[in-house]
Amino acid sequence: MEEKRKKKSGPIKSAIESESDVDTKLWSFITTRSTKSWFLCISLFALLIRLAVALHPYSGANTPPKFGDFEAQRHWMEITLNLPVKEWYRNSTANDLSYWGLDYPPLTAYQSYFHGILLKLFDPASVSLFASRGYESYLGKLLMRWTVLMSDLMIFFPAVLYFVTVYYSGKSTKDKSGMVWHTTMILLNPCLILIDHGHFQYNCISLGLTTAAVAAILSDRDLVGSMLFSLALNHKQMSAYYAPAFFAYLLGKCLRNKNPIIDVLKLGLVVLGTFAVVWWPYLYSMDASLEVLFRLAPFERGIYEDYVANFWCTTSVVLKWKRLFTTQSLKLLSLAATVSTCLPSMVQLIWSPTKHGFIHGLLNCSFSFYLFSFQVHEKSILLPLLPASFLALDEPFVFEWLIYNALLSMFPLLRRDKLVLAYTAIYGLFILLYHAPSGKKDTSKTNRFFSILKLFALACSLFLHVIYMTITPPDKYPYLVEAIIMIFCFSQFVLVLIYSNRKQWALFNTSTQVDTKKKSL
């Protein structure tokens, strides 16, 4: 009788065990397939989502006289294609810098030039000097959308594959069970898709170069990583948000080597060499170089623009910074605030340079820049989001929390672009994908405080979305709801910064304990 009971209970027990492990086994089954196979499937789905978002309006559609970011990018193609390289950043009768003058580093200008060649090949009128201002033909818009898509496919997608391959190299099959989910989270970042393929920008290039640089450094190819990050800096100057973390981590590694001075010199030569190649057309004179540098530092715009959820804009509700301080004073204040909030993360990386700490450092330093640096745009939240996506499997709560609040912070901008439908659809898609079975460690489920905080934040976010869409603010305070959204998001971002800094220093304590044990042995 006992043997029969064992035989009966055996299948039941195994069935229960199989049900409890079904999520892990499902993702393990997918992961055990060829990396190229599942990455291709995710990429095709991510491509489909980008195409769907690209069907919606873009920044400045049908809104003369200056239109928006779409027109800015098209105009740069027009300028770089029709004028000599030395005149791209110089004000002249042929290049009126007050009309969307180039204000990104030379690598962006070269990108505009090559994209301009593509547009000229199929639709010459779209990049005709002077005559193409405000050009919005169907073919022209289609070609412009394809340039962003091509940039994504050629730079960001391969960089993500490089990163996940390095990040999961040497890990067990069980650890790799979340690899597919992690890749999906990075490639289907709703904020990046909405800004690049909806609003219209090329953040995928600078973020792709940064992703590849991080992957190279994680695989101990520091010289390659330095070159790639230098290229990212030369595409968008906002990539400097990551610079303190790169500098501190690489310096910390060099100081632990046998010949630290030689290692530092090698890194310095790679960085200087990369910059020299990119800036070569402007190195013939000091004035030419300064013309470009002047365009990259928009101090004349003031310390903030629009309603961005950073310190200066949020506190301006009470303290009118622009009235009380000069631009020079505000530059020094923002520099001091940014450096002081970056410093703890940098010190930890120099003292104990670990790979996991490096990614936390990227998040902390980029957040410090977003919250305290001079002239921040709401789209700049994409920079902290990138390292947060790298940590999506280990810190899923932080990633989810940050995504939701980043979307909310950009909602007023995206609503002005008439992207509400795309915003809602991709928001819902992200929720479904995020909660798909995976190997992520959801700390919010084991910590009651995190659970309550997340529920409260989501309820507030939903409420603010509804209020912004349905209620007309009083004439005396036309931007009241935008200000409330800004204040709420700022409070959430500060909490993320504090939490992430604590996590980074916890890694330092762990590594110190390990070193102590090794010495005692």
Average pLDDT over residues 8-22: 48
Residue 39 lies in a domain: yes
Helices 203-218 & 222-235 angle (0-180, nearest 10): 170
Q: Is 387 part of a structural domain of the chain?
A: yes
Domain that holds residue 492: 2-61+136-520
- pTM attached to this predicted model: 0.90
Residue 439: predicted pLDDT: 59
pLDDT in tens, 363-373: 999 999 999 99
Identify whether 108 is part of a domain. no
- Is residue 287 pLDDT above 70, yes or no? yes
Q: Supply the pLDDT for residue 170.
A: 74
DSSP for 110-147, written as a single string: HHHHHHHHHHHHH-GGGG-TTTTTT---HHHHHHHHHH
pLDDT for 20 beyond 50: no
Q: Would you tell me the crossing angle of helices 22-31 and 2-20 to the nearest 10 degrees?
A: 60
More confident residue, 227 or 258: 227
**CA pair distance 20, 282, nearest whole angstrom:** 62
What is the rounded CA–CA span in Å between residue 407 and residue 429?
13
> What mean pLDDT comes out for the span 166-175?
74
**Which pLDDT score is estimated for 443?**
54
Residue-wise pLDDT for 378-400, tens only, equals 899 999 999 999 999 888 888 99
Q: Is residue 344 part of a domain?
A: yes
Q: Is residue 91 part of a domain?
A: no
Mean pLDDT over residues 183-210, rounded? 97
Q: What is the mean pLDDT of residues 145-157?
A: 97
- 95 lies in some domain: no
pLDDT-derived band at 305, boundaries 50, 70, 90: confident
CA atoms within 13 A on the CB side of 163: 28
Whole-angstrom Cα distance, residue 438 to residue 449? 23
Mean pLDDT, range 399-407, rounded to an integer = 93
Look at residue 106 and tell me if it is in a domain. Answer: no
For the stretch 39-98, pLDDT in tens is 999 999 999 999 999 999 999 998 888 899 999 999 999 999 999 999 999 999 999 999
Split at pLDDT 50, 70, 90, the class of 438 is low
- pLDDT tens string 426-437: 999 999 999 887
Domain count, the chain: 1
Question: Kind and range of the H or E element at 53?
Answer: helix 35-54
Q: Average pLDDT, whole number, for the chain? A: 88
What is the percentage of the chain residues whose pLDDT exceeds 90?
A: 70
pLDDT reported for residue 497: 93
Any domain includes 426: yes
